[in-house]
């Protein structure tokens, strides 16, 4: 694939991957590039219906708008809609596919991975750049053998990676350095920068923090993004509203 790809992965859930991805999409669109968003697997009850009538995550619909294009099911080929703590409705390419618990869902990985690959390939034929959003943490060690949404897609797309961390909750140094430490060497080599998200106050006060992250990780901090108050965007991440959901699905 000759398409260029950039992946936005996080140190955890709800660190702001969706919004950072949308911002990058908008920046590239304004620069005149043909760009599209992609998230292989999403978990949300608050879905969006595409013009063709298929369901995708609301974040990918927002990101498509940022790209100046219509949302399409290939931008989010797998959508999990939780029905209980351990059971979800599985929406594949916009249509209900099955209802699964976590164990049976993971058994279907080879079939689902083929669907993810097909969707990504179709986007790659239409656009110059794909901005990929990951899910959960970039270092979900217990899910490595079943992952559909983070490193397998990064490798498929031969993408560079931006790592997003949330300073508002505290522990941002452990977030970044711990995540980087748990990555495989080839994965670490793909990380081209860190974004410190949700900073309150004067970012100049974090200058020594930036220096510490850069010196300990060897990875540049691309920016410190302010905490945005009263952001009037739909929330679709499962941690935001569906805190009861089992995060092992993502």
Domain ranges of the chain: 4-245
In angstroms, the CA 100 to CA 178 distance is 32
Spell out the CATH class of 4-245: alpha beta
User: Does the pLDDT value for residue 134 go beyond 70?
Assistant: yes
Structure tokens at 89: 């409705």
Binned at pLDDT 50, 70 and 90, residue 233 comes out as low
Exposed e or buried b per residue across 110-123, where buried means at least 16 C-beta atoms within 10 angstroms of its C-beta? eebbebbeebbeeb
User: Does the pLDDT value for residue 248 go beyond 50?
Assistant: no
- Element spanning 210, H or E: helix 207-217
Q: What is the dihedral of CA 139, 143, 149, 151, to 10 degrees?
A: 50
Residues in the chain: 250
Exposed e or buried b per residue across 17-48, where buried means at least 16 C-beta atoms within 10 angstroms of its C-beta? bbbbbbbbbbebbeeeeebbbbbbbbbbbbbb
Angle subtended by helix axes 207-217 and 172-182, to nearest 10: 20
Q: For the segment 83-121, what is each residue's pLDDT rounded down to a tens digit?
A: 887 889 999 999 999 988 888 888 899 999 999 999 999
User: Does the pLDDT value for residue 229 go beyond 60?
Assistant: yes
pLDDT of residue 236: 54
Question: pLDDT higher for 231 or 202?
Answer: 202
Burial of 202 (0-12, 13-18, 19+ CB in 10 A): exposed
User: Does the pLDDT value for residue 38 go beyond 70?
Assistant: yes
pLDDT of residue 240: 47
User: Does the pLDDT value for residue 218 go beyond 90?
Assistant: yes
pLDDT of residue 2: 77
pLDDT of residue 52: 94
Among residues of the chain, what percentage have pLDDT more than 70? 92
3-class state of residue 247 by DSSP:
helix
User: Does the pLDDT value for residue 30 go beyond 70?
Assistant: yes
Return the residue matching tokens 């699905």.
Answer: 249
User: Does the pLDDT value for residue 230 go beyond 80?
Assistant: no
pLDDT of residue 50: 96
**Do 164 and 195 contact (CB within 8 A), yes or no?**
yes
């Amino acid at each position: 694939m000759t398409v260029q790809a950039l992946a936005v992965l996080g140190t955890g859930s709800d660190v702001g991957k969706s919004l950072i991805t949308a911002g990058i999409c908008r920046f590239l669109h304004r620069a005149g590039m043909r760009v599209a968003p992609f998230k292989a697997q999403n978990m949300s009850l608050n879905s969006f219906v595409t013009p063709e009538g298929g369901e995708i995550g609301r974040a990918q619909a927002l990101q498509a708008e940022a790209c100046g294009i219509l949302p399409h099911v290939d931008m989010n080929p797998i959508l999990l809609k939780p029905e209980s703590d351990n059971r979800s409705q599985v929406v594949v390419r916009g249509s209900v596919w099955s209802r699964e618990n976590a164990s049976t869902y993971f058994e279907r990985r080879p079939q689902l991975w083929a669907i993810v690959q097909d969707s990504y390939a179709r986007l790659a034929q239409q656009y110059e750049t794909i901005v990929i959003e990951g899910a959960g943490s970039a270092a979900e060690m217990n899910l490595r053998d079943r992952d559909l949404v983070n490193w397998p897609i990064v490798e498929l797309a031969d993408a560079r990676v931006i790592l997003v961390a949330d300073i508002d909750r505290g522990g941002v140094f452990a977030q970044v350095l711990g995540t980087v430490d748990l990555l495989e060497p080839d994965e670490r080599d793909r990380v081209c920068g860190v974004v410190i998200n949700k900073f309150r106050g004067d970012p100049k006060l974090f200058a020594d923090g930036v220096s510490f992250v850069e010196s300990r990780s060897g990875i540049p901090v691309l920016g410190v993004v302010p905490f945005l108050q009263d952001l009037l965007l739909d929330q679709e991440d499962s941690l935001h509203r569906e805190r009861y959901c089992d995060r092992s699905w993502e």
